[in-house]
Structure 1
Amino acid sequence: MDADVLPLTVNFKDGSSAHFSINALAHKATTEVENMSAALELHLGALQMRVSGSPRGLQSSCSSFETVINKLRALVAEVRANQAEGLMTASVSRLDEATLSLQDVCEDLKQGQGLFDDIARAKIDLKKLLEEKSAQTEHVTKLERKIFELKKGVSDAELVKSERMQLLCLDKEFALRARYDNQQQCDRQEMKGVVASLEQRSVTAANENARLQHELQYYHALARNNKIGITDQTRTGQVGTPIR
């Protein structure tokens, strides 16, 4: 076998295999591309896990990275399938183009690393904000509890004030009733005194009237005996006709 031609056995995932004879340079390039492709696939898997939910620019770079890897896979398959040296040379040229594209993608990924740093700092800032928000939420909860207690205290105070006003009204009503009762009692006592005074004056007037009647009878008798005319002033208060 020619020194520039090497045997190549390809094992597929389904368990089958294929045997080829390829150019040594193409074999070397294919091996390097396979190794590079495998390493890039591992790096891509880790990268995809990291950029999940990351900015669009980084996701776009990752997508370009995956596109280049797919091209490399296709070129490796093409290198394995083509045995003619001319075709192998064209395949290697295309591998060079893919490598340049891969370098561009790697540059984008290097720039994307800065985005990872920004994301890490943003996560730290977000964590701080969440802690501050949690503290503020707890503070707001305490304030709401205090406001509720104050409102309850105000409500209780208003209730006590209302009850106190009712008690004051009752006290005023009781005081007015007591004053009214005392006034009525005083009025009754005063009326009793007036009635007693009138009764006493009536008795005195009756006694005085009896005395005057007795005296009048005395003078009438005296007049009849002496034949003197007097007037009846005790009953009418005016000068009357002489008594004969």
Structure 2
Amino acid sequence: MTKEDRFEHILTKLSVNQRVHFEELAVELNVSEDTIRRDIDILGKNGLLVKVRRGGIIPAINPLSFQERASLFPEGKERIAFKVQPHLSEAKTVFMDGGTTILAIAAAIPINAELRIITNNMALPAVLHEHEQVEIISLGGNYNRNTRTTTGAQTCLEACKYVADLYLMGACGIDHALGVTAQVAEDGEVKRAFLASSRKTIAVVTQEKIGRIDFFKVANLDAIDTIVTDLPSDDFRLNAYRFAGREIL
């Protein structure tokens, strides 16, 4: 049985019984209790259950099923998450907006990290549920069920109350001439508010969004300090972005 099959069995049993036990799972899956403990650790760190003595329990809020989460974090987003971690270790207060790349970054944060995260991403708290030293400030506003984010005037006003050391911007599109753009105006307005209140901004961009131009202008490229992609840093597709001392990762 593969690790993914074990995860599926554990989460299915959890959804029925609200609780799972190491010993029972080890017998059912014909593996050692140490293997089950490691599986429970992984699921717990990703917000899919809460680890307790001798097992795990269902979290109060679990907006993402395992199948959804597995599809959200393919290899490219995991590469971006790995590249971003050193920058997170240097920050105390961080803005993080919406998108599955941002969730992948959050899932890779070490369990003992000490951070304050300010976000309009309502899926983020579940991912960071086990990170006891991560303070999460969720911004109010109009909730969008499709993107699981809050937007609107209230979100932007609340964001302006803070100053962040770092803003991790999930970019819908980035172009060397026209800068960062967004598909939805309300989302773009929140990005502008985060950008205005941040000391440093990192745009995280999967390769299919490089060269893409959406209708709402968020910022020129000179407002971005670092661009992190899932491409090798020397990839030719990034050549047009290498100017003005901007970091490319």
Q: Which band: TM-score by shorter chain?
A: under 0.3
TM-score (norm 2): 0.19
| Structure whose CA Rg is larger | 1
Structure showing the higher strand proportion among its residues:
2
Structure showing the higher helix proportion among its residues:
1
Q: Larger relative CO (CA 8 A, sep 6+): 1 or 2? A: 2
